[in-house]
Amino acid sequence: MAELKDMLQGVAEAKQRRFADEDFAGAHARVVTGRVKRRRAATTVGVGGASVLGASALAVGVINVPWGALGTAGPGSVTTTPQASESVSAPPSPSASPEPSVSATVGPLVGETPFQCGYVLPVAEFGSDSLRIEATHWTGAELTEWIEANDDPSDPDVMPSEAVVPTAISTGQDEPLNGVWDGSGSAGFEDPAREAAAGEPNPEAGVGIISAVTFVAVKDGTVVGHLRDPDVGESPLTWLGLNNGVAQGMTVALLRTDPAGAMTSCSDAELAEDWTLYAVAGTTFLYPDGSWDPVDYAWAKFE
């Protein structure tokens, strides 16, 4: 079939020459960019209904999605969850023990959730049936091979039935990978409480899932550092979200040769020594009326 390949290449090259004179960006950039913005917002706040819900759930893979409950909580449903302007307390799962109280306060969000600076971790590790970090590990150059073995940039219609967040820190890459790879949806890094607060009621939207995973520096049980992208000043670009398309949740890796270098001190001073790296995850449901469920949080320490 080498002949056919040559023929196909010939067709493609001819078409490329033909398209070369077109101003695709001029004709479509505004529309495409607008659609991307709306979809990125939708992925966060749940606009778009079931498809967005599924994509988010699949991508993040950190939650046991109560599909049955969601089936009854469709667009327009009224919940008893707090409104965006309220300060809420997220009760941990009954199965979690001990049970720290994690407050998802809207506003400055200083020290109120494990995503935020100054938060005091009530326990060293925390998770629940609905959200847990199953494993954390440091890895090295083998991570590249592992990524190649597990990546999935397509959109498989596979829903995770379990929620796990194995989390890896790369320490031995020749070159730091820099980017997000989430083939099946989205995984945020901002506090879900903050994302939920930014959402606006949309009666036409379905129920949305807001989920995020990040890494923080902890010293004496307090969050003292977090990831900040120096380019944009707020968001890390050092994520690699992986989903292998089966019910194993998503693997998240902080891909930096120097994890400490990715961490920014919460204060003006340099990051104190002897801090410990933690993986932190959070998830909630956002409803069409703008309300959201109490945020489930989980965190785990890197030994």
Strand partners, 188: 212
Say if CB 53 and CB 73 are below 8 A apart.
no
Query: At residue 243, what are phi and psi to the nearest 5 degrees?
Result: -140, 120
**Closer CB to another protein, 24 or 269, in the complex:** 24
Q: In the range 43-62, which residues lie near another protein by CB under 8 A?
A: 43, 59
Asked if 99 touches another protein (CB under 8 A), the answer is no
User: Among 1, 85, 268, 270, which residue sits at the site for another protein (rule: CB under 8 A)?
Assistant: 1
Q: How far is the C-alpha of 71 from the C-alpha of 53, rounded, in Å?
A: 11
Asked if 269 touches another protein (CB under 8 A), the answer is no
Q: In the range 180-199, which residues lie near another protein by CB under 8 A?
A: 180-183, 185-188
Shortest CB 228 distance to another protein, Å: 13
**Closer CB to another protein, 232 or 269, in the complex:** 232
Q: How far is the C-alpha of 99 from the C-alpha of 93, rounded, in Å?
A: 8
Say if CB 299 and CB 114 are below 8 A apart.
yes
User: Among 83, 87, 154, 161, which residue sits at the site for another protein (rule: CB under 8 A)?
Assistant: 154
Candidates 73-81, 143-151, 263-271, 282-290; binding stretch for another protein (CB under 8 A): 143-151
Burial 126-140 (b: 16+ CB within 10 A, else e): bbbebbbbbebeebe
Query: Which stretches does DSSP call E strand in 91-195?
Result: 102-105, 135-139, 166-170
Candidates 117-125, 225-233, 256-264, 289-297; binding stretch for another protein (CB under 8 A): 225-233
**Closer CB to another protein, 97 or 154, in the complex:** 154
Say if CB 255 and CB 170 are below 8 A apart.
yes
* Total residues at interface with another protein (CB under 8 A): 61
Going edge to edge, which strands form the sheet with 239-243? 135-139, 166-170, 250-255, 239-243
DSSP 120: B
Asked if 19 touches another protein (CB under 8 A), the answer is yes
Shortest CB 251 distance to another protein, Å: 14
Shortest CB 213 distance to another protein, Å: 11
* Binding-residue pattern over the window 226 to 245 for another protein, x denoting contact by CB under 8 A: ---x-xx--x-x-x-x----
What CA–CA distances, in Å, run from 135 to 37, 53, 116, 127?
A: 33, 25, 22, 11
Asked if 3 touches another protein (CB under 8 A), the answer is yes
Structure tokens at 286: 């956002």
Asked if 16 touches another protein (CB under 8 A), the answer is yes
Q: How far is the C-alpha of 186 from the C-alpha of 202, rounded, in Å?
A: 20
Which residues here bind another protein, judged by CB under 8 A?
A: 1-5, 7-20, 22, 24-25, 28-29, 31-33, 35-37, 39-40, 43, 59, 147-149, 151, 153-157, 177-183, 185-188, 229, 231-232, 235, 237, 239, 241
